[in-house]
Amino acid sequence: MKSSCRFSVILTFLLGLTNLLSAFVYGQLVTPYQYDVDLLPASFHRQRRDSLRAQLPDSSIAIFFSNPIRNRSNDVDYVYHQDPNLYYFSGFRDPNAILVIFKEPFLWYSGSKVTEFLIIQPPNVKDELWTGRMATIEDAEKVSGCTTIIYSSDSSCLNLPYATFKKVLHLRLPQGVANNKNDHHELFDLLEQFKSFTAPDSVKTDDYLLQKIVARLRQLKSPEELQLLTKSIEMSVAAHLEMMQAVRPGMTEYEVEAVGEFGFYRRGAEDVGYPSICGSNENSCTLHYQKNRKTLHAGDLLLLDMGAEYHGYSADITRTLPVSGTFTVQQRTLYEIVLKAQEAGIRDCIAGNEFKNPHKSAFRIISEALLKLGIASDEDDVRRYFPHGTSHYLGLDVHDPGDYQPLQPGQVITVEPGIYIPAGSPCDPKWWNIGIRIEDDVLITDNLPVVLSGNLPKKTSEIEKIIQDAQQNSRGK
């Protein structure tokens, strides 16, 4: 182990020289984390690791793996997105990384004791020419607050005495990881090492307990997280308003989508939080419709479920718009039912209430209305037209983890009831091809709920006025 440690020190020194040479050849050294000034601070990630450590069982170790790089086609990869859990506990956003957290201080190879360490891929001058600067140990220390960081080129980086721990905790291991045979410092090789080291029966691995602990931590948002989440919601609200002002017959779903996503990106979003849903007429009845290719016609409804992602945190907002600027009688009737159900659900977003209370209230209102209108014959039939839950947690994932226990201050959840009546449904055809969902992002507090997306209009009169005014102004030009 001592010789391996000496080798690691020498390798780190040589890689540092390589990085300096890269800076000399290609220009001033640019770190990948220097452009944004409002990233989560290292103190946040350090505190999150401390909170996790406090909940780990005695004599245990927790291991987090980065997301794999995914191939899109041929030699083109998808834009990389870090595993939310590794990002949450380290702030590190580059691929081929592993975070290890010990319950008790661990005697490191140098003779000092550590409570955690981060493994990162060593910079490579040739790769940097194509994909940009890779994070160094200094970069990783700055964003994570970890003081022990090693390169994955160290052959002993995962060679730990796993059998001496009562529990080796990890989440579901990354699946379908590609093997680049020309690179032995990537995630595939690290996973193979970990699997071989933990294969003996004497090693007690657990891929369930850590998931529960992480869910309890991530469901409560800190002030720093709420600041980023609020920003992603605000830019999403502004973009939704721009889509309201842009929509008109003759456009396509993808043109409206482009207006919204442009609104995200020009305000600083790094990505969409999830594939944008822009479904009109029959497509509004498909819950996760994503093709977005249909031409809009007068009389259509357009369901827009879209949210921006900012520094990892995703908004999740849905509005349903009349393309011509006026709801039909049937559309207005169902829309008002959904709005009433949503408002009841939001009122139930009170700390101490059961997580399902907002759904129960929303479902009761929709059920009573659909039965009265003769659209549904009983409660089971109502579920044909309202087939999903009303709320989920929101954060680094659009469907963030949580324990679904009574609501607590600091949680952010969605409230999104809906009614969807596809053609051929066993009801009067006048209701067919009407799909309506209204969704807002709600912060649970010690007092009344705060609707973080509340600045986006949702009353029928407000929506109609915005669309009609915009269409009239367009005709006047």
**Could you read off the pLDDT of 109-131 as tens digits, one per residue?**
778 899 999 999 999 888 889 88
Q: Is the pLDDT of residue 204 over 70?
A: yes
Pairwise pLDDT comparison (50 vs 128), residue with the higher score: 50
Check which CATH number belongs to the domain holding 86 and give it.
3.40.350.10
Annotation marks residue 462 as catalytic: no
Do 422 and 456 belong together in one domain? Answer: yes
Q: Can you give the pLDDT at residue 475?
A: 80
Q: Can you give the pLDDT at residue 12?
A: 44
Catalytic entry in 399, 403, 428, 462: 399
Q: Can you give the pLDDT at residue 61?
A: 98
Catalytic entry in 439, 440, 441, 464: 439
Catalytic entry in 70, 172, 288, 383: 288
Do 227 and 208 belong together in one domain? Answer: no
Annotation marks residue 388 as catalytic: yes
- Residue 48 burial by CB count (10 A; 0-12/13-18/19+): exposed, middle or buried? buried
Q: Can you give the pLDDT at residue 31?
A: 58
Check which CATH number belongs to the domain holding 417 and give it.
3.90.230.10
The whole-number average pLDDT for the span 286-295 is 97
Catalytic entry in 311, 437, 440, 464: 437
39: confidence class by pLDDT, cuts 50, 70, 90 = very high
Catalytic entry in 420, 440, 441, 464: 420
Annotation marks residue 437 as catalytic: yes
Do 316 and 226 belong together in one domain? Answer: yes
Do 150 and 293 belong together in one domain? Answer: no
Which residues constitute the domain of residue 15?
2-217
Q: Is the pLDDT of residue 17 over 50?
A: no
The whole-number average pLDDT for the span 162-182 is 93
Q: Can you give the pLDDT at residue 215?
A: 98
Annotation marks residue 58 as catalytic: no
Annotation marks residue 282 as catalytic: no
Annotation marks residue 399 as catalytic: yes
Catalytic entry in 35, 58, 75, 201: 75
Do 201 and 305 belong together in one domain? Answer: no
Q: Is the pLDDT of residue 406 over 80?
A: yes
Catalytic entry in 189, 253, 305, 400: 305
Looking at 217, 249, 265, the residue that finishes a domain is: 217
Mean pLDDT computed over every residue of the chain: 92
Q: Can you give the pLDDT at residue 126?
A: 87
Q: Is the pLDDT of residue 47 over 50?
A: yes
Annotation marks residue 392 as catalytic: yes
Annotation marks residue 316 as catalytic: yes
Looking at 217, 243, 262, the residue that finishes a domain is: 217
Number of independent structural domains in the chain: 2
Do 30 and 176 belong together in one domain? Answer: yes
Looking at 217, 234, 266, the residue that finishes a domain is: 217
Q: Can you give the pLDDT at residue 28?
A: 42
Percent of the chain with pLDDT over 70: 93
Do 323 and 434 belong together in one domain? Answer: yes
Do 331 and 190 belong together in one domain? Answer: no
Do 231 and 205 belong together in one domain? Answer: no
Do 67 and 187 belong together in one domain? Answer: yes
Q: Can you give the pLDDT at residue 127?
A: 86
101: confidence class by pLDDT, cuts 50, 70, 90 = very high
Q: Can you give the pLDDT at residue 309?
A: 98
- What is the rounded distance in angstroms from the CA atom of residue 233 to the CA atom of residue 310? 9
Q: Is the pLDDT of residue 356 over 70?
A: yes
Pairwise pLDDT comparison (328 vs 178), residue with the higher score: 328
Q: Can you give the pLDDT at residue 21?
A: 43
Do 211 and 257 belong together in one domain? Answer: no
Q: Can you give the pLDDT at residue 154?
A: 81
Do 93 and 176 belong together in one domain? Answer: yes
Percent of the chain with pLDDT over 90: 85
The whole-number average pLDDT for the span 57-83 is 96
**Could you read off the pLDDT of 228-264 as tens digits, one per residue?**
999 999 999 999 999 999 999 999 999 999 999 999 9
